[in-house]
Chain A
Amino acid sequence: MIWSKYSVPQAFYPLAGRLIPWFAAVAVILMVVGLYMGFFVAPTDFQQGESYRIIFVHVPAAWMSMFLYVVMAVWAGVGMGLNARLSFMMAQAIAPTGAMFTFLALLTGAMWGKPTWGAWWVWDARLTSELILLFQYAGVMLLRTSIDDVRRADRSSAVFALVGVVNVPIIYYSVQWWNTLHQGASVSMATGSKMAATMLMAMLIMTIAFWMYSIAVILARVRCVMLERESLPTWDEKPAAMPEAVEAR
Chain B
Amino acid sequence: MQWGSASEFFAMGGYGLYVWTSFIATALCMAWEVLALWRRRAAARAEQRAAMLGGTDETAA
Contacts and interface: CB of A to CB of B under 8 A. Distances in A.
Partners in one complex: yes
How would you classify the secondary structure of chain A's contact residues: helix, strand, loop or mixed? helix
Interface in B27-61: 29-30, 33-34, 37, 40-41, 44-45, 47-49, 51-52, 55, 57, 59-61
A17 to B, nearest CB: 11
Contacts of A237: 49, 60
Contacts of A223: 41
Contacts of A88: none
Contacts of A97: 33
B4 interface: no
A224 B59 contact: no
A139 interface: no
B22 A228 contact: no
A95 to B, nearest CB: 12
Interface residues of B, number: 34
Contact of A100 (B3, B33, B45, B57): B33
Contacts of A43: 2
Interface in A90-104: 96-97, 100, 103-104
Interface stretch (A108-116, A127-135, A154-162): A108-116
B49 to A, nearest CB: 8
Interface stretch (A45-53, A66-74, A144-152, A177-185): A45-53
Interface of A: 35, 39-40, 43-44, 49-51, 53-54, 57-58, 61, 96-97, 100, 103-104, 107-108, 111-112, 114-115, 213, 217, 220-221, 223-224, 227-228, 231, 233, 236-237, 239-241
* 10 shortest interchain CB distances as A-B pairs: A50-B13, A239-B60, A227-B44, A51-B15, A108-B22, A50-B12, A233-B52, A111-B18, A240-B61, A111-B22
